[in-house]
Structure formats: C-alpha cells, structure tokens
Chain A
C-alpha cells in the first residue's frame, strides 16, 4: 500500500463521532421558535392585507351607499334650513305688507314666490296655501 492509498484508506476508515445529545433539543426549540415567528408574520401580513383591502375597497367616497347615508342627511338638513329661512323672510315681508295695508298687486308676487319656493320642497308644508298653515 503506497502512502497515497494509505492516506485515503486512513481517511475512509475514520469513524464518525457521535453528534452531541443536546443538539436535538436545541434544534427542536429553534425550529419551534422559527415556526412561531413565521406564524406571527403570516398573521401580521394577513391583517395588513385585510386592512389594505378594506382601505382600498371600502374607504369613504368610493362606495355610493355610505356616501349617501353620510351626505344626504346633511344636505337635506341644510336645504330644509335654507328653505325655512327663505319662507320666514317672505312671511315677514307679507306681514309687513299687510301691516302697512299694501295693495293686492304688491302682495300677490310675494305669495307667488312663497308658493314657488314651497313647490320645490317635498315636505308637508309645501302644500300649505295659507300663511297660518305654515
């Protein structure tokens, strides 16, 4: 047997030393930590994705229904307030006109304006034809 063969043979004959017993518990613990953190990351990613989808799909202004719900009442309230104010202004003008004994030609346009204003409103008051019904 020459030295080269001897070297190879000697290396081949080497016995594998046993692995340390503590290696498996360490490996198992790290594996479990790895799985836990992976699950936590997945959960976080899922939550993030859900939040992103929520923002993209349900954010205000992109879906008509919530917009109507949130905006319609305020528009309605605003236009009703405006209507009331204008009707009250006409009523004051009418009252003043009656107080000073104004003629029918002076008063009639005021009534027409009042009727026209109320005709544009769908509230029950819109059907009133007498100032006392308002």
Chain B
C-alpha cells in the first residue's frame, strides 16, 4: 500500500470525505465505531431499544457536526462523550420524579449473587443511576466533577452514590466468590 492509500485510510481522510458528502466515508466511520458506541449505550441504559436509539442519535449528531470537527479530532472519545451525555439526559428525563436512593442503591434483591464471570449480569442488575455512575467513573474515566456537572449535582453527591454502589457490587461479588468455593 503506498503512502497515498495509507493516508486515504486514515480517520482524518474519512472525515474530510464525509464532510464533502461521501456516504461511503460515513459508513466507514460508522463501522469503525458503532460497536463500541452501542455497547456503551447498552451498559449505561441496560435497555437494547434505548441503546439503539442512543447509538443512532450519536452518529446523526456526528454527521450533523462534521464541519465543526477538526481532522485530528479523535472520534472515539468524542462519540463516547456524546453517547454518554445522551444516556444521562435520557436517565434524568425518565426518572426525574424518582429519588436518588431509589435509583442508585437498590440492587435487585431477588437476583442471585453474581460471580466475576457474571459481571455483565451484575451490572445490568444495578439500578440505572448507579450503573451509569459506576461505568462512567470506573471504565470511562469521568471524574466526580464531570459527573456532578452533567447531572447538575455536587461532586460529593457523585462520590456518595458511587461509593455505595461499589460497596453493593463488592458484596455481591464476595458472596458469589464464596458460593463458588463451596
């Protein structure tokens, strides 16, 4: 592959082509990132239909904002940030009348203790707010200040909910681990 072909295959080149309306470039960008974006949306919402909507909206926003994106903008973090913001907005909209406690600490009592291998299931059993805070802080690297700003709360609110949620998760993991050794 010569230098020009290498350059044509880069994200910056695809962005430039997409900006000119090249649909193949749109699709290439989409294919590169859709799995990660859809997975993030699914982990934050726990709802396949909501995850699809969020993934779709994220790419539509990217397509609509192409002229504002610099060629050297790393797309993955940008897309993840948009998807996370959409998930948070949705969560706030859907649960605006629910209290923080109801959203953050009531891990499903009926579910069986989880093992590490069942982390995905454990995550799904977390209530929406707790799941979102845990994933964004632990896996996506959001700071408490960023979480607080996005949720319109204080950093101590974020720390408190995260701390309780992680404690519950560890309890379930410990329980699951001891059950495995029996």
A residues adjacent to B (C-beta < 8 A): 3-4, 6-14, 16-20, 23-24, 26-28, 30-31, 34
Contacts and interface: CB of A to CB of B under 8 A. Distances in A.
Mostly helix, strand, loop or mixed at chain B's interface? helix
Contacts of B139: 11-12
Given A3-B177, A28-B23, A10 B116 contact: yes
Given A17-B39, A19-B34, A31 B27 contact: no
Interface residues of B, number: 36
Contacts, number: 77
B98 to A, nearest CB: 25
A82 B131 CA distance: 93
B63 interface: yes
Given A24-B27, A24-B34, A31-B60, 20 more contacts: A4-B166, A6-B177, A7-B116, A7-B173, A10-B117, A10-B122, A11-B119, A12-B139, A16-B38, A16-B39, A17-B39, A20-B38, A20-B48, A23-B34, A26-B56, A27-B30, A28-B26, A28-B27, A34-B60, A34-B64
